[in-house]
Structure 1
Amino acid sequence: MTTAENGSEKGELAGKRALVTGGSRGIGAAVVRQLLDAGAEVLTTARSATGTTPEGAAFVAADVRTRDGAETLAAAVRDVLGGVDVLVHNVGGARPHRSGLDIPDEEWRDALDLNLLASVRVDALLAPGMRDRRTGAIVHVSTAATFPPSPPFLHYQAAKVALESYSRGLAVELAPAGVRVNAVSPGRTATPGGEATRKYWESLDIGPGPTDTPPLGRDGRPADIANAVLFLVSERAEWVTGQVIGVDGGEYPRG
């Protein structure tokens, strides 16, 4: 994909410093590429180096499920970027179970750490710098599949619903300083992690929820989500904050 094709040929993020968590594959890697194409300097992270980090991005290994990992990442942001103007939280995921009552305590804790508290911890370390500079954009990647409730994925859904509520609340707090906070909620997207989860779900013989093609006629692509993220962190969205934007091809219509 060329910069002309993805709409970032003007280098609209030139001079911006961006952090993308979970940027080594799938949606996160697509976001990294979009931000690089738009002219941003990008640092990304995953639990371990995989060799698939998009070319041009800096990488640090950090497990943001823990406070130590979040602090490692924040230190790398200061050392590599000197601060951050764009913060995209993409890490997430969980394993489905036959029943919501079957989900063990440790998986509830892991789902909350990965899908909610990782963002909370990193924001607490980096958003004050944005507030002090009175500029910045934060995007939390949620999921469109928060409703209807799905017992096999209650831990994941609960964490993502909490993430969306937290995102709206943080938007209220940071708006007076000119820092915008939004969330995107992808529907079924063709990523390695998503495909693996759907296959495992099917192996439980309980069905993976909606299986029909989304109304727009295909599964989502990582670039579809990255396009929405690019919009939200750009000046084109300077009047948008506190929103949760579904990017799902109409799969999960909201009333």
Structure 2
Amino acid sequence: MDLGLTNKIVLVTGGTRGIGRAIVEGFLAEGATVAFCARDGVAAHELAEELSVDGRVAVGSKVDVGDAEALALWVDATAEALGGIDVVVANVSALAIPENPDNWRTSFDVDLMGTVGLATAALPYLATSDAGAIVTISSVSGREIDFTVGPYGTMKAAIIHYTQGLAYQLASKGIRANTVSPGNTYFEGGVWQSIEANNPQLFAESLALNPTGRMARPDEIANAVVFLASSAASFVTGTNLVVDGALTRGVQL
């Protein structure tokens, strides 16, 4: 199936590790030009150089999405340099799970307002695209109560609500907005590898909840993101696509 992403311009926040990196690689494999950012500018530049092979174009930048002004400047500069924007993917999370005032503020600034800031800054460019699409990354913790109840789960739930609102507001402008909600996703250097090493009981309990007997791979989440951003999903907007291997058992209404 041709996903229609060749030569499309895609922006991804948090693109150097785990799910974010897999998303960048997924779009590049489809022939898109991908600009991504991370707080670690060196890692972003090194990864962009690594991925810019065989005619693929990847651009890495240092951006803290919790800094609204810096995020908007990156979007504008990237659009000017690359000639527009067709797709944005809001992937960054602070992963601020323990419930305390600092984590509430950090989750609000990074998870929620980082998503809002990216979409808001990109809207003028998406409006001129013939394939404008917004994909936000939430979590199964945004629809079920689990050990991340508090700032993380609350902001992930807010992202789903915000994105569905965008879908309704922007449909007449030809811009689609969807959410992907991953289940537990294991990768080197990720939160679940850390939990496995430091809290093996929680890791074992979490793993046992999934009837597949495993956690997701980043590329399995990225595949869903790339699909929703593509012309193959041209009439899909306002959805929350849960990618969790049947981990959650609640019915979406």
TM bucket, shorter chain: 0.7 to 0.9
Match of residue 17 from structure 2? 25
8 Å CA contact retained: 1:183, 1:245: yes
In the alignment, the residues of structure 2 paired with residue 18 and residue 147 of structure 1 have an alpha-carbon distance, to the nearest angstrom, of: 27
How far the C-alpha of 1:14 sits from its partner, in A, is: 1.0
Report 1:93-132 matches (<5 A). Answer: 93-97=94-98, 103-132=99-128
TM-score (norm 2): 0.87
Report 1:3-152 matches (<5 A). Answer: 10=2, 12-49=4-41, 50=43, 51-53=46-48, 55-56=51-52, 57-97=58-98, 103-133=99-129, 135-150=131-146, 152=148
Q: Flag the 1:199–1:13 CA change in 2: closer, same or farther, 3 A.
A: same
Match of residue 4 from structure 1? none
Match of residue 174 from structure 2? 178
Q: Flag the 1:61–1:197 CA change in 2: closer, same or farther, 3 A.
A: same
SS across alignment from 2:156 = helix
Query: Which stretch of structure 1 is more off in the superposition, 161-170 or 215-224?
Result: 215-224
8 Å CA contact retained: 2:181, 2:243: yes
How far the C-alpha of 1:42 sits from its partner, in A, is: 0.6
How far the C-alpha of 1:210 sits from its partner, in A, is: 2.8
SS across alignment from 1:58 = strand
8 Å CA contact retained: 2:79, 2:125: no
Q: Flag the 1:25–1:169 CA change in 2: closer, same or farther, 3 A.
A: same
SS across alignment from 2:207 = coil
Q: Flag the 1:18–1:141 CA change in 2: closer, same or farther, 3 A.
A: same
Q: Flag the 1:110–1:64 CA change in 2: closer, same or farther, 3 A.
A: same
Question: Residue type matched to 1:32 in 2?
Answer: V
Query: Which stretch of structure 1 is more off in the superposition, 128-137 or 171-180?
Result: 128-137
> CA offsets per residue over residues 206-229 of structure 1, 9 Å max, x none?
x46633162233210011011101
In the alignment, the residues of structure 1 paired with residue 250 and residue 149 of structure 2 have an alpha-carbon distance, to the nearest angstrom, of: 19
SS across alignment from 1:96 = coil
Q: Flag the 1:231–1:11 CA change in 2: closer, same or farther, 3 A.
A: closer
SS across alignment from 2:40 = coil
SS across alignment from 1:145 = helix
TM-score (norm 1): 0.86
How far the C-alpha of 1:110 sits from its partner, in A, is: 0.5
8 Å CA contact retained: 2:15, 2:37: yes
> CA offsets per residue over residues 51-86 of structure 1, 9 Å max, x none?
344512101111111112212311332233221101
8 Å CA contact retained: 2:141, 2:148: no
8 Å CA contact retained: 2:85, 2:129: no
Match of residue 195 from structure 2? 198
Count the aligned residue pairs: 240
8 Å CA contact retained: 1:35, 1:42: yes
In the alignment, the residues of structure 2 paired with residue 65 and residue 156 of structure 1 have an alpha-carbon distance, to the nearest angstrom, of: 15
% same residue: 33
Please provide the CA RMSD for this pair: 2.2
Match of 1:189 among 182, 185, 190: 185
Match of residue 100 from structure 1? none
Gaps of 5+ in 1: 1-6, 98-102
